[in-house]
């Protein structure tokens, strides 16, 4: 069985059961002028993950392995948006309001879509999720089961919120989870560092972590 060099120890995997999960590389989070920036965040922090994420995505595509993309977004009528989420922090612009890229985090709006640099290819599954985790109120788990997957590599934003939440959900469901450390970012670098530490602590209590070059090296055999 091949092994990817990782923390806290090597990540063993079977190629036939390996998949890539790209979390929330959405315009409203990553591009200047989007929702993330209106909240006072520096989106250049997230954009730093794009080159490594591109290399990782290309490696999985070249290997013919399954790729999943997620988008955090809600129905236009907001029926799947709890008031506690919409109102938290009393932001000037809330989910569902008109923002610089259309209605904020609403399915089908430009800002909720994935950035061009990492846009899904035909046949790649896109999961629209109303929560932080990709398993909640979606068919993500069914897609993984139907493809016989067991080992999941994660990239995306932000590390401490939607990426970590989905990894923990996957870990609870028995999946082996590997975080691509340079293909994930946070608006707050210290939050990313703390999240990686939490994931690999206690013998990999949530999963493993390594950089994209080591993942690509293993995929290339």
The catalytic site residues sit at 24, 129, 162
Q: Using alpha carbons, select from 183, 216, 195 the residue that is nearest to residue 5.
A: 216
Q: Is the dihedral angle over the CA atoms 176, 112, 35, 80 positive or is it negative?
A: negative
Unique residue bearing structure tokens 């290339």: 220
* E-only strand ranges, 79-191: 98-99, 102-103, 125-129, 151-157, 176-185
Using DSSP bridges, classify how beta strands 11-12 and 208-210 pair: parallel, antiparallel or unpaired.
unpaired
What is the token pair recorded at 65?
């392995």
What is the token pair recorded at 186?
């946070």
Cα–Cα distance, 205 to 70 (Å, whole number): 24
């Amino acid at each position: 069985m091949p092994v990817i060099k990782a923390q806290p120890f090597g990540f063993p995997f079977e190629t036939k059961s390996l998949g890539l999960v790209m979390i929330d590389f959405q315009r409203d989070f990553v591009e200047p002028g989007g929702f993330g920036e209106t909240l006072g965040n520096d989106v250049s922090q997230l954009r730093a993950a794009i080159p490594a994420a591109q290399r990782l995505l290309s490696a999985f595509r070249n290997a013919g392995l399954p790729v999943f993309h997620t988008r955090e977004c809600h129905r236009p009528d907001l029926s799947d948006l709890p008031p506690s989420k919409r109102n938290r922090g009393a932001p000037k612009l809330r989910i569902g309001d008109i923002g610089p890229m259309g209605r904020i985090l609403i399915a089908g709006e430009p800002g909720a879509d994935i950035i061009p640099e990492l846009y899904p290819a035909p046949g790649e599954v896109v999961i629209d999720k109303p929560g932080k985790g990709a398993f909640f109120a979606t068919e993500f788990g069914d897609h993984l089961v139907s493809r016989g997957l067991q080992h999941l590599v994660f990239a995306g934003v932000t590390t401490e919120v939607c990426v970590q939440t989905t990894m923990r959900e996957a870990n609870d469901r028995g999946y082996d989870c590997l975080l691509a450390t340079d293909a994930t970012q946070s608006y707050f670098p210290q939050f990313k560092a703390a999240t990686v530490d939490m994931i690999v602590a206690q013998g990999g209590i949530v999963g493993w972590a390594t950089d994209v070059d080591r993942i690509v090296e293993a995929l290339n055999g």
